[in-house]
Amino acid sequence: MNYINLLRTRAYGNTTGNINAGQLTTDFILDERGRELYYEAFRRTDLIRYGKFTTSAYLWAWKGGVLGGTAVDAKYNVFPLPSTDLSANPNLIQNKGY
């Protein structure tokens, strides 16, 4: 919690954004990482790690092609192997669902 409050003090310029132990949850940490690492491109990886990328546990507009968002197939947690890689190496097997 101390490290998060140090980050928030830096971001806010004072201690008005600091949190207490009751507010420190895994969802809070996920959200804080989303804010702090916005331009670092970690969001997709974090959502997969927390089990929220493909499930209905976390929805955003147009997720799954629906305005309100919907769960999508779990195959999207991994990328498909490029066809050029599959052609070059017959020992590779395409990821399930692709």
Q: So what's the pLDDT on residue 76? A: 97
What backbone torsions phi and psi does residue 52 show, to the nearest 5 degrees? Answer: -120, -5
Cα angle: 75, vertex 79, 80; to 5 degrees: 90
Q: So what's the pLDDT on residue 1? A: 92
- pLDDT tens column, 55-97: 999 999 999 999 999 999 999 999 999 999 999 999 999 999 9
Predicted model pTM:
0.84
Amino acid (1-letter code) at residue 10: R
Q: So what's the pLDDT on residue 73? A: 97
- pLDDT tens column, 50-60: 999 999 999 99
* For the chain, domain boundaries: 1-50, 54-98
Q: Taking all residues of the chain, what is their mean pLDDT, rounded to a whole number?
A: 96
